[in-house]
Each structure stands twice: as structure tokens, then as C-alpha cells.
Structure 1
Amino acid sequence: MLRRLPTVAWITVVWVALWGDLSWGNLVGGVLTGVVVVLVAPLPAEPAGYRPAPWPALVYLLRFLRDLVVATAEVARQVFWPLDRLRPAVLEVPLTGRHPGLISLVANTISLTPGTLTLEADPGTGRLWVHLLHLEEGAEGDVVEHARALERLGARALGVDLGADHRADHGADHGEQP
């Protein structure tokens, strides 16, 4: 149970924030809720393959916030365009890695950014299919590079080695053991 103390503390903080009142009753209620949640739905101690790093995670968050502001302004501008000028598109985006957690992070980051939506993510092939509200002609490479930049930042934040996936795939093609 001591290993789960940070989870109980986090649930308590969220509980108090949701109630909007720091009182003894809410604090005790949050702790009790946290203990019940940890006992009823225990999470694994540490997901396999992760070595989270706080500073790269902060860099990832800042990049996401920057993208969020820029995309929101762009979508607001596009709302006033005549509809016949929009070029919606679905684009296949090949990523470097195959780590499911990293692919999920990148896919969800893209979906949370206005004007884009991840339709499908395939960890087996490392590919995303992304719907874009508007795709400038010839900008497909920019979209792919943006997703790969998010992947590189996310890999640093999660402590995932992108090269390990690449080496494993390359070795499998040549009959070598990864």
C-alpha cells in the first residue's frame, strides 16, 4: 500500500479541487476515495519500458501548449474562410517507433490540437491516420515532420528508446536477433 501513496495523494488533490473547498471533511473524503480506488482498481507499479523524465515532459507540455495556441488561432481564422477553400484530408503518418504508449501519446496530442484528429493508430506498424480540417497543397511532409517531432519529444519524456524499435525491425528483416 505504501507504493500507492503517491496515487492516493494525487486522487486526494483532485478530490479537493473538484469540491473546490479545502476542509477536513473533503481532505478525509479524498484520502478514503483514493484508498478505495487503489484497492479496487490497482494499477501496475511501473509500466514496462518507461523511464519518465520530468524536464523532457515539461518541454513536451510546452510544445503542446504552443501548438494548441497556434492551431486554435488557425482554426478560428479558417472558420471565416469560404467553405470551398478548405481542403480537408486524411493523411497516413509513419512514425519511427512502435512503442504503444508513445504512439498513444502522439496520437492523443494530435487529437487534442484543434483542426486535427487521429482516426487510427497502429502500434504494429507505427502508423497514424490523421484527419486535417485543412491541408495546404504540398504540406504533407510538414504534417509528418510535426508528428515525428512530437514523437521524438515524447520519447525523451517517457524515456523510450526510438532506436531500439528501429534496430529490432532492421534485425528482423535480416534474420538477426534484436
Structure 2
Amino acid sequence: MLIRKFEGETPKIDPKAFVAETAVVIGKAEMKEYSSVWYNVTVRGDVNRIEIGRYTNVQDNSVLHVSDTHPCILGDYVTVGHCALLHACTVEDHVLIGMHSTVLDGAVIGRGSIVAAGAVVTKNTIVPPYSLVAGVPAKIIKKLPENTDATHAQAVKYENLWTRRYGLLPDGGGEEYHGEKIV
């Protein structure tokens, strides 16, 4: 892993967070407890800040970046699928960002929402809470039930993967995944 200071700013990584060996975390980046960034992920907080919430996982080959005017903020219990690009956007709690999707500058993904695989959420788009969005450009497909159990379980399952199965925090300490339905 490469943890790099940028213009005097060193990433703040909770001791209970996981950064894979090939991930890069730069500058004004904060990872909260039980969050994880996986193989070949880039978290580049150079010209603005990045926040990764509790139990949030950013999967392989994804990129988090910022702009001069917008940070990149991920709430708690967020799952970011493989090869996603999140640029200068806000993702609220209990959201699933599908594989190969893109969320652009100033966009806000509301709590409990799902961004389908391959979707492109364009600049300054506001996705209401509990929405399913898909397509290029992404459009609201339907309203989702106001229940975050499945996205919560998905995030906890990922935390359990790296803490227990990878043996990184063998005593655990976080929430337990018990086979609940996931997204």
C-alpha cells in the first residue's frame, strides 16, 4: 500500500480500517473504523478532501477523486463495486454503487439508493433517497423500499471478510454477518 502525504496533509486511517497492499491513499483522506479499500484502489485527496465512512468498502480498481470545488464524501455502510469512479460527489449512508459505474462532480446519491452497474450519474445530479438509478445518463428507474437491511448486511459482510477471513483483526470487534440477505 502507498500512503502518501500531499502538501502537508497525511491520510488519517483508523487502526480498524483496511488498506490492501496495492491501494494508494493520498493527501486529505480519512478512513473511519471498519472501512476498507481493496486492491488497486486509488483514493486521491489532493486538491480537496475525501471521507470514507464506517463499514464502507471500496472494491478493486475503483477511483475516488475530488475537484477544487467538491470533496468526495462516502457515508457509512456504503458498498462501492469494482471499477467504479466517484469524482467529487457525495454518497449518503447505506448506498450500493454498482460495478463500472461513474458518479460525477457535485452529484449526491441519497440514502438507501442503488446505482446500477455501468450507470453514469452526471454532474450535479441529485438522486433522492431510496432510488434505483440506471443508464447513461442515469435516470431514476423506481423508488426502493425504505429499508437498509440488505445494504447494511453487504457492508458488514465485507468487513467480516477482511477482519476474519483475511485474518487482519482476528478478534473481530465489529458487527457480525450471519448470512442475512444482501444486495
Q: TM-score, normalised by structure 1?
A: 0.28
Identify the structure with bigger relative contact order (alpha carbons < 8 Å, sequence gap 6+): 1
Richer in helix (by share): 1
